[in-house]
Amino acid sequence: MTTDFLSLDELHCKVHALLETLYPNRDTDELTKACLDAIGPRQNKDVVAPERLWSEKDSLLITYGNSVREAGHKPLDTLQNFLHDNLQNVFSAVHVLPFFPHSSDDGFAVIDYTQVDPELGDWDDINALSHDFKLMADLVINHVSSQSLWFRNYQYGKDPGRGYFVEADPNYDLSNVVRPRTSPLLRKTETAEGIKHVWCTFSHDQVDVDFRNEQVLLEYLRIIGRYLDEGAQWIRLDAVAFLWKELGTNCIHLPQTHDVVKLVRLLTEYKNAHALLISETNVPNRENLTYFGNSNEAHIIYNFSLPPLVIHALLAGDCSYLKSWMMSMPPSPVGCTYLNFTASHDGIGLRPAEGLLSDGELQQMLGTLESFGGRISTRTDAEGNEKPYEANIALFDAFKGTYNGTDKWQVERLICSQTIMLAVEGIPAFYIHTLFATPNDEDKLEATGHNRSINRRNWSLSDLQARIDEPGGPGQRVFDELRRLIRLRSHQPAFHPNATQFTLHIRPEIFAFWRQSMRRTQSIFCIYNLSDQPQEVSLSDLNLISTETWFDLISDQPITDLYGKITLSPYQALWLTNYNEPL
């Protein structure tokens, strides 16, 4: 339910209650008013029914502002022109990864949240993108750059910044703190008050802010208000799981973190009823699901277990682990949904596969990805051991072959993986390099020394155009087919993000599930051959209703014998349906 169903008094009451829990020693009446002032004036007073927050027409493109470059042009201009010419009628939403001045991590060490990186463009360019697409912006909420004004002021004991950062005694036992890196947690820092040790979950250039200080909360509410005013509609809460720190705890998923997310949702919906919060929590599946709350935290959560399980299934030719996970996944709550993806600017997260893939299966998958040119990044666990955290590889090269080695089916495996993602419950999200079948960027990896650079290529527009125009080349084949499939999906009510999903049981080489539209006007049986051999499927196993006409959406071929058999080529997908809406 959105806050538009609440009276202003009810909104005040809910905000007040959360603030009273988070900041019990503050004047909560005054702080409630300050929060409403910080988020800024309302943009609309619409009433949005939960099922209308998104539809089968929604799909998301993930890109850096400079993923495509052209000499003499601002990167954001080049990006907008490319999207307008090639993808405007394909994607409904675009996630432009952090586009702010930054000092490291390709944007995730933000120097100034209020400015667009001048090397990319300006706020007018961001606003122009928001007119063509729903725009997702990153709220890097856990940390800021060590070169930010806040951190410099902290060092000099000035406002704003004084009291904004988490300090800890280096002699305190912090070994139980969960974090995704191997670097030391604390950074030694000179300040006007002497040497301090500040908390750095990710790197010493990314210093964690202290939400125990209510002024930090107000700063981020102002930033959210600015993003919404500049045209962003979807707000991605980056690394939000680590937000609240309490000594003596593991400092991840703390109750206060969930309360901050609830508070942000209330205030964001108050400002704009169409605005959506997306939580980015690269953690084991059960932990990730908690960010739905009671339909009062994130509207959308990343489906982090999907990438490693889809990749495993296609490398192994076996859907057993993928199917078991899908059977265990709950339908998303009312007013919530999943964001499905198989590749991103980061690597393939491995923590979300914990408890889902056996150690043996995980090691075999990682060894295969390394043989295809991938790298493995690690984290340090509570015992001080290094453990695999993510696999860094371009998705196209992750599908160079199978556990048996490289083969000729690389393009087919990539398309199959995306066809799975398009059909699973939720909203599909495509990393821009998947569309082009971009291979590993070994040159950028060598230049930066950072594993994640392998999948963060910057294309020149001319080189990219040549790749997607090359007749019969992998770039053209993938680009054309994925655009066709995304458009095809957008006309199927059974692919509404909240439509019913039911897992089917055929055999390990065949992954299959059923989707039914919310008004029960359409069924789609999604069937995938995950192997490099032809596979036969008996249609009688699907129990297709004999009084209806069935056909395959992907090939546009009718099903003439509902009790016969279909042979699927290696990595072929079928979307069998009883419904046809002209494109």
Residue-level pLDDT, tens digit, the chain, 583 residues: 444 457 889 999 999 999 999 999 999 999 999 999 999 999 988 888 888 899 999 999 999 999 999 999 999 999 999 999 999 999 999 999 999 999 999 999 999 999 999 999 999 999 999 999 999 999 999 999 999 999 999 999 999 999 999 999 999 999 999 999 989 999 999 999 999 999 999 999 999 999 999 999 999 999 999 999 999 999 999 999 999 999 999 999 999 999 999 999 999 999 999 999 999 999 999 999 999 999 999 999 999 999 999 999 999 999 999 999 999 999 999 999 999 999 999 999 999 999 999 999 999 999 999 999 999 999 988 778 889 999 999 999 999 999 999 999 999 999 999 999 999 999 999 999 999 999 999 999 999 999 999 999 999 999 999 999 999 999 999 999 999 999 999 999 999 999 999 999 999 999 999 999 999 999 999 999 999 999 999 999 998 988 899 999 999 999 999 999 999 999 999 999 998 665 5
Q: Where along the chain do the CATH 3.20.20.80 domains lie?
A: 50-139+219-241+252-394+425-447+459-493
Q: In whole angstroms, what is the distance from residue 48 CA to residue 1 CA?
A: 8
Name which of 533, 534, 542 is nearest 505 in CA terms.
542
Contact (Cβ atoms closer than 8 angstroms) between residue 495 and residue 515 = yes
**Any idea which fold 500-577 has?**
Immunoglobulin-like (2.60.40)
Q: Which residues contact 12 (CB under 8 A, 6 or more apart)?
A: 32, 36
Helices (H) and strands (E) counted in the chain, each on its own, are 17, 27
Q: In whole angstroms, what is the distance from residue 196 CA to residue 211 CA?
A: 18
CA max distance for the chain = 81
Q: In whole angstroms, what is the distance from residue 319 CA to residue 100 CA?
A: 41
With a threshold of 0.95, does the pTM exceed it? yes
Q: Where along the chain do the CATH 2.60.40.1180 domains lie?
A: 500-577
- Beta bridge partner(s), residue 459: 68
Q: Let me know the angle formed at the C-alpha of 99 by 267 and 35, rounded to the nearest 5 degrees.
A: 20
Q: Which residues contact 425 (CB under 8 A, 6 or more apart)?
A: 329, 331, 332, 337, 338, 340, 497, 498, 499, 501, 515
Q: In whole angstroms, what is the distance from residue 530 CA to residue 540 CA?
A: 21
| Residue keyed to tokens 């209806």 | 548
* Choices 3.30.70.1530, 3.40.50.300, 3.20.20.80, 3.30.930.10: CATH for 50-139+219-241+252-394+425-447+459-493: 3.20.20.80
Name which of 423, 492, 480 is nearest 56 in CA terms.
492
| Residue keyed to tokens 């040549």 | 466
**Any idea which fold 143-208 has?**
Oligo-1,6-glucosidase; domain 2 (3.90.400)
Q: Which residues contact 67 (CB under 8 A, 6 or more apart)?
A: 79, 432, 433, 457, 458, 459
- Active-site residue list: 238
Four-residue CA torsion sign, 101, 106, 107, 108: negative
Name which of 212, 210, 207 is nearest 189 in CA terms.
207
